[in-house]
Structure 1
């Protein structure tokens, strides 16, 4: 996008016996750079001719503009790390548990080596037992679980709900008389 230069203004006014001339010219049109030379208060045409000759010389000097493209030797930066390989042999193990003063007691542990995974988790049940699940996965066997319970279930003694009395009886609602508008 190039800017359009303002139109050259040429004024000839007599101001105390002297003529004021303003000349604008475009310099460097071949290199997309725009410069304006303005001459004010010249008194004779010789000066104008000299200024135009200088402008012509300046316009013939090549102007080096900065290039906005990448340099010729551009090469992309090396990656931060190599691309991940998903053909590795997975191997991990973990173990965690929670037991606090509020009665929470649960945990989980697992070991994996390749396509074989073994683990267990446990949790306290509301009836007082501990439920423990031991599982394994070996290749394409799927998830095989063994569920066991430790302890005896304790249920609170049965207490019948309190007896409620009959529903309250309500009296008749308010009676409104005829409304007169007036």
Structure 2
């Protein structure tokens, strides 16, 4: 059976955090997903840990590649992704158990190509909002792009979003990153 969601996790030097990350994804209430772990040439035991998880859950695919950075690792995951929707999780993060269920529901209920949620920085037992909003917002494409470019109610992180697979809509594969828009914590550039 084809997965509905492909979750891509770039992995680099995170042996201390990767268990919690993978466990949080495997604990999703929505079960029809594949988990693509992209070992980006990690010098620690991260790649081995990913392989061990793949042995116990058939939804997990592991890619081992030469280090190329975050965007290159995400692109490697996109190349093998089978899902109708794509999600990204950073390997030092963990997610709520119903995140993908709620994001998929939002996409389907609103015929949206992207759904997003808030996210938090966890320090000890304390949650510190990095990005949050009340209720839900629906934008047309131009308005959403304008809000992204002005940082108006849209967080630039890919990890708090679920994306409809572009090729399922347009017949064209995902555009590779970082060709067009590159976001960093304090900069945004368009090439």
For normalisation by structure 1, the TM-score amounts to: 0.18
Structure number with higher strand proportion: 1
Computing the radius of gyration over CA atoms, which structure comes out larger, 1 or 2?
Answer: 1
Structure number with higher helix proportion: 2
Higher relative contact order (CA 8 A, sep 6+): 2
